[in-house]
Amino acid sequence: MNMPNMNPLLRLHAIGQRIWLDNLSRTLLQEGALLKLINEDRIAGVTSNPSIFYKAISESPYYREELQSLKADKTLTSEQRYETLAVADIRSTCDLLLALYKSTDGDDGYVSLEVSPALAPDAQATVAAGLRLKAAVGRDNLLIKVPATAAGLTAIEELVAKGCSVNVTLMFSLRHVREVAGAYLRGIQRLDANGGDLRKVRSVASLFLSRVDTLIDKRLEIIGGEALALRGRTAVALARIAYQDALGYFSTTVFSELAKRGARPQTMLWASTGTKNPAFSDVLYIESLIGPNTINTVPDGTLAAFRDHGKAEQTLTRDLDAARAQFAALQQLGIDLDAAGDELQSEGLKLFEDSFRQLLALTAA
């Protein structure tokens, strides 16, 4: 496992962490690049969002003919045209990963499709959209992506209670982690009470990292002095503490009883793992957060960087005292990490809404 020439992505897999690709397009599908990543790097899942689909549809030649045909049908809305294209890609990707899904008894091999970010304030509309998209894709290894907003928490519980697997997105704080775990647990309890099959539900909780460091580091630079030594450490500290918290949430007697009936613990997923600050390592958010029963979803560039020069060893449970000291130091400086997380969530949602509007403009007749 520690041979020097071994692909570090394979060593990650042996440790128990799964790597998902934070990208999807018909170019990746039709030219065989995604299949190669699955076969050679053991990519175990794929995520998508409005920004990814905007880039795919605007740049890949493989959409042009179908998009022209969809635009010719004036009975369709821009969103219906987009969903037609996206659902086809998601379904094809689910099929590529189906063998992995089956061989791991539903632990790996998932593809994420996001509900419209415009629905974020409306729990019931989010639930309806999630169930509709699930039916449209028609694959068991689909995760419906829902933001961890106040309304999103209600939607997550409801979707899980209805047997729908969920990827919770736009999490930026320990409070978000706690609230999302609670929503998932309530949903599983309801599904169990209604006689549902707990084994068929999978959930991941996506904690965004690089944006946390970007925001907190700006505040530390304003403070200056000794505070500058704290830069670049907050996101890793957040993830390490969140992992410990998640282990606690899903080791209770209540969840243990549900696990006996097939319930899976919600898995922590590290998102926004492309390093934004050039002063930091380009694989910072992979190398620092390697541990079992976790997922890291990475963009193409970060994936290539880690394959080239990444070091794969278990690091997620290291330096927990230092992580807690980082939080304490930030608190002493008057930096409220929960408030910062809410600010980042609002900004992230706005970015997704902007991308979604651009996407619909792309598919407008």
* Mean pLDDT of the 150-174 span: 98
Question: What are the tokens at 18?
Answer: 């799964």
pLDDT at residue 1 in the model: 45
Position 281 in a domain: yes
CA dist 188 and 193 (Å) reads: 9
What's the token pair of residue 21? 């690709």
Does 177 fall in a domain?
yes
Decide if 234 is inside a domain.
yes
Q: Return the active site residues.
A: 145
Would you say how long the chain is, in residues? 365
- Those residues with Cβ within 8 angstroms of residue 161's Cβ, 6 or more apart along the chain or in another chain: 186, 187, 188, 190, 191, 194, 196
Say if 20 falls within a structural domain.
Answer: yes
* CATH number of 237's domain: 3.20.20.70
Is residue 122 domain-resident? yes
Q: How many domains does the chain have?
A: 1
Question: What does the pLDDT read at residue 279?
Answer: 84
What is residue 278's predicted lDDT score, i.e. its pLDDT? 86
For residue 269, report the phi and psi dihedrals to the nearest 5 degrees: -125, 130
Determine the average pLDDT of the residues in 309-322. Answer: 96
Residue 323 reports pLDDT greater than 70: yes
Structural domain range at position 50? 8-363
The yes-or-no verdict on residue 3 having pLDDT over 90 is no
Which runs of consecutive H residues, i.e. helices, occur in the chain?
A: 8-15, 26-30, 33-41, 50-59, 64-72, 78-96, 98-103, 123-137, 150-161, 174-193, 210-223, 234-249, 253-260, 284-287, 300-309, 320-332, 337-363
Mean pLDDT, the chain, as a whole number?
A: 96
Is residue 206 in some structural domain? Answer: yes
235 neighbors 344 (Cβ within 8 angstroms): no
Q: What is the pTM of this model?
A: 0.95
pLDDT band at 6 (very low <50, low <70, confident <90, very high): confident
Domain membership of residue 263 (yes or no) is yes
pLDDT interval class at 121 (50, 70, 90)? very high
Q: Give the pLDDT score at 4.
A: 56
Q: What's the CA gap between 354 and 104, in Å, rounded?
A: 37
Q: In the predicted model, what is the mean pLDDT of residues 253-264?
A: 96
For 149, the 3-state DSSP assignment is: coil
Q: Locate 152 and state its tokens.
A: 């999103």
Query: How confident is the model over 190-231, as pLDDT tens digits?
Result: 999 999 999 999 999 999 999 999 999 999 999 999 999 999
Determine the pLDDT at residue 11. Answer: 94
State the distance between the two ends of the chain, measured CA to CA, in whole angstroms.
54
- On whether residue 2 sits in a domain, the answer given is no
**Residue 171 φ/ψ, nearest 5 degrees:** -105, 135
Look at residue 5 in the predicted model and tell me its pLDDT: 67
